[in-house]
Amino acid sequence: MTKQYIQNHKQYFLEKGLTVINSVFSDDEIEKMIKCIQNADTSRDNFRKSDDLFAVRQLLKEIPEIKELIFNDTVKTIIRQLFGEKYFAVKSIYFDKPETSNWYVAYHQDLTISVDKKLEMQGFGPWTTKKNQFAVQPPLPVLENICTIRIHLDDTDEYNGALKVIPGSHTKGIYRTETIDWGTETEKICDVRKGGIMIMKPLMLHGSNRTTNDKKRRVIHIEFSDMELPQDLKWSEKLN
């Protein structure tokens, strides 16, 4: 993966708020990640299992042995060259949208961050607390700084719930979905092959349709930032 190739992706990413890079992980690396997750103790609070969804919150904390599989040399190079030298992981989730799942996700922006405690601070709020985990909507500059990598453990297209996005919408601040002007905005479906990654800005409007082809969609979602939070507030999952 040449520097110029990554630079081309960076330019597109900064302008559109997303880019897709395939063939980042081999089939063998993907199978090792899947085994790692399957072998984990799913009885803990951060594991959620239902007919519609299997999800692991704080994945890198819950299954630390997966870190060396995820952060291979290619991924480290992509993070440094696309995001910046000082970016670190601040949130990690695994989810498996099974073949039978009729999970539909409406267009939205990712507007909250995971933090270690609740503090009354100007510009931070509203807050949510679930099972002693704290999430808050921070000021806009914090959200604008975050970059997300989504590692695809399966081929994903419009028939098994690939993300649909509105390219460029990440530049418009908090963008209420009811104000989307479809006369000027264009929807894009983000096909990603198994072992590929989708890189996106969480402020980009995104959603997904129901699965119609009885195929799995398993994704590892990791958010990165290079900002420290003010006062005594800390990222709950900071990982260098």
Domains and CATH numbers, the chain: 3-225 (2.60.120.620)
pLDDT 10s digits, 74-121: 999 999 999 999 999 999 999 887 666 566 789 999 999 999 999 999
CA-wise closest residue to 225 among 207, 203, 209: 203
**Mean confidence (pLDDT) of the chain:** 92
Q: What's the gap between Cα 182 and its chain centre? A: 25
Residue 215 scores a pLDDT above 90: no
Q: Which residues contact 4 (CB under 8 A, 6 or more apart)?
A: none
* Amino acid type, 73: D
Position 211 confidence tier, pLDDT thresholds 50, 70, 90: confident
Average pLDDT of the segment spanning 33-49: 84
Asked whether the whole model's pTM tops 0.85, one would answer: yes
